[in-house]
Structure 1
Amino acid sequence: MSDKPKNTGKKTEQKAEQNQRLSVFKTYKLYVGGKFPRSESGRVYEVTDSKGQWLANAPRASRKDARDAVVAARKAFGGWSGATAYNRGQILYRVAEMLEGRRDQFVREVAEAEGLPKSRAAAQVDAAIDRWVWYAGWTDKIAQVVGGGNPVAGPYFNLSSPEPTGVVTVLAPQESSFLGLVSVLAPVIATGNTAVVIASEKFPLPALSLGEVLATSDVPGGVVNILTGGTAEIAAPLAAHQDVNAIDLAGADEALAKELEIAAADNLKRVVRPQPVDYFATPGIDRLTAFLETKTVWHPTGALGASGSSY
């Protein structure tokens, strides 16, 4: 009895159809106010890998997008700064949890963006995840380090406590697309500030993907806003913006930093100047304290009334 002929033609046809399937390319968008808008101007720019091969189109944010991001950050500031430090720590830890679940995606994006071997990209992503955990642990401890009771000559309690500065513009490092970004962003929001981030102009994709993580990590909308495009174009209106309280110039070159610092002086913004940083090194508390104000309260220790009780 002879074997039945196999239907190899149909299988070959199905395989050919699978090979002809078009990939679904990802559309990257800004992250503003907890939403993902396209740039108000409708502009995009090509992002390429280290070999010049096209990776994606990134939105080119406009001045209007920058202003919208400031409005969102200001609106979110009251709730975020008013949350307990313990709650902020839980939320930052949740960001680390979500990043751990999407680790492979970020390893691929960092490797493609910066032209790194996957092992080195993985080391950067792991360090960035750990950095979120590190700052999550500091949220309810920094007040004990920089605050406290002050000795005074008189029957008073004199207590100092840190408070967030407000809306902070962050120029992310240009060459460290993810670890550097996390290292300058996490301490800003850990202490109760809200942030408008200008991602690396050359390597913006990991930052935009981080926005997707933040949107599902219990971080309230507007606490972090991520813009991409020309760093100088976006930074100029933010440095001069009267409702921005501080600016971190980590991703600015010397000429741009000088220009932005002059613009920031108009409303006495606090400025952190660019400096060489090893982002793999354990961070100190400098970036935690960079955008904190100190509130000092005087209170009488009490006096004895006629009944002998204090009041």
Structure 2
Amino acid sequence: MSEKSGARLSVFKTYKLFVGGKFPRSESGRVYQVTDSQGGWLANAPLSSRKDARDAVVAARKAFPGWSGATAYNRGQVLYRVAEMLTGRREQFADEVAAAEGLDREAALAAVDTAIGRWVWYAGWSDKIAQVAGGANPVAGPFFNLSVPEPTGVVAVLAPQDSSLLGLVSVLAPVVVSGNTAVVVTSERAPLPALSLAEVLATSDVPGGVVNILSGRTAELGAPLAAHQDVNAIDLTGAAGDAALATELETAAAGNLKRVRRPAAAEDWSADPGTGRLLSFVETKTVWHPIGI
């Protein structure tokens, strides 16, 4: 096609993984076809390997001290910036969600707007978690007794299969807002909005490694993450449609006593999220201190 004709060739987007703040291809070099709700080709997504999962855990562990050590206010501001960036790419995400989930334009825009609002909502909780989950405890003695929530550590998140962006935000944001770092396995069927979210995270103020995003087979990636000794918790939402897989992963997670959030039979991602997920991946530290010293 000549330039003089006024037309140009289409440039297809290359989707990559997001690990440690960078965009590598899968170390295996594998990809798989992603199709729309009608079976039409959309893109080739990286087919992550177990090695990619291990690399993502290493990146998440490296980022944990800095992210968990940041002030709650700072984490909230960083996450609010992500919502700003999402708003600037609202139309792009609406296109991807519409193609991924078979929604019409209006419904896709509504899903994206709800996802942005959900991210802002969780960002606002960053400096309020301690007031809800912590406090001063009455004790019989001359002591102060204080309980405070602390992040669990590295959390593996199997994103929901049916909600490519809103569901993803609903499971990811509550993990990182409290100071955890995350390794996310995207929806196997509809990974593209999640891989585009990685571009938003990379161009916002989120430190590299705080969120790592892998696309591929949920069962293939879930197994090494569930068994990994440096993963402290796992959210099995993405295994909701496969009871045998969920049981297998929960059994593997017992190897180092991981916190496990079991998948619900059905979830309404547009409903009020409450504080359940927010408090699923925090630990309570209780401190005693003598009065007057």
Q: TM-score range by the shorter chain?
A: over 0.9
For 1:113 and 1:16, the matched residues in 2 are separated by: 35
User: Quick one: which of 249, 252, 255 aligns to 1:260?
Assistant: 249
Could you say what secondary structure the match of 2:56 adopts? helix
Aligned length: 290
Q: 2:110 aligns with which of 123, 129, 140?
A: 123
The match for 2:5 is 17
Q: Secondary structure at the match of 2:6?
A: helix
- Name the residue aligned to 1:279: 269
How far residue 18 of structure 1 moved from its aligned partner, in angstroms, is: 2.4
SS at structure 1 position matched to 2:252: helix
Match of 2:142 among 155, 170, 175: 155
User: Alignment partner of 1:32: what SS?
Assistant: coil
1:240 match: 227
User: Secondary structure of 1:58's match?
Assistant: strand
Counterpart of 1:3 in structure 2 is none
TM-score by length of 2: 0.97
Question: What SS does the aligned partner of 2:148 have?
Answer: strand
Aligned partner of 1:112 in structure 2 is 99
1:289 partner SS: coil
Instruction: Give, in whole Å, the separation in 2 of the partners of 1:281 and 1:222.
Output: 30
TM-score, normalised on structure 1? 0.92
Question: Which of the residues 29, 32, 55 maps onto 1:42?
Answer: 29
In structure 2, the residue matched to 1:79 is: 66
DSSP 3-state at the match of 1:290: coil
Report the alpha carbon displacement of residue 14 of structure 1 after superposing the two structures with TM: 8.1
The C-alpha deviation readout for 1:83-129, integer Å capped at 9, x for no partner, is 00000000110000000000000000000111110111111000000
Counterpart secondary structure, 1:33:
coil
CA distance in 2, matches of 1:119, 1:228: 27
| % same residue | 77
Unaligned runs of 5+ in 2: none
Q: Secondary structure at the match of 2:237?
A: coil
The CA deviation string for residues 133-166 of structure 1, in whole angstroms up to 9 with x for no partner, is 0001100001001101000011000000000000
Task: Please give the secondary structure, in 2, of the residue aligned with 1:127.
Answer: helix
**Structure 1 gaps, min length 5:** 1-12, 303-310
**2:286: which partner in 1?**
296
SS of the residue corresponding to residue 43 of structure 2 reads strand
Deviations 1:171-215 (CA, angstroms, capped at 9, x unpaired): 000010000000000000000000000000000000000000000
| Amino acid of the structure 1 residue aligned with 2:152 | T
> Offset at 1:25?
0.5
Instruction: Say which one has the larger Rg.
Output: 1
Secondary structure of the 2:278 match is helix
Q: CA RMSD in A?
A: 1.2
Match of 1:270 in 2: 259
Task: State yes or no: 1:197 paired with 2:184.
Answer: yes
> Over residues 21-47 of structure 1, what are the superposed CA-to-partner deviations in whole Å (9 max), with x where a residue is unaligned?
210100000000000000000000000
What SS does structure 1 have at the residue aligned with 2:139? coil
Residues in 2 aligned to 1:52 and 1:283: alpha-carbon distance in whole angstroms:
32
Runs of 4+ in structure 1 over 6 Å off: 13-16
Please give the residue correspondences for 1:178-217 in structure 2 after superposition, counting only pairs within 5 Å.
Answer: 178-217=165-204
Deviation at 1:17, TM superposition (A): 1.9
In structure 2, give the amino acid aligned to 1:266: G
Distance in 2 between residues matched to 1:85 and 1:14, nearest whole Å: 55
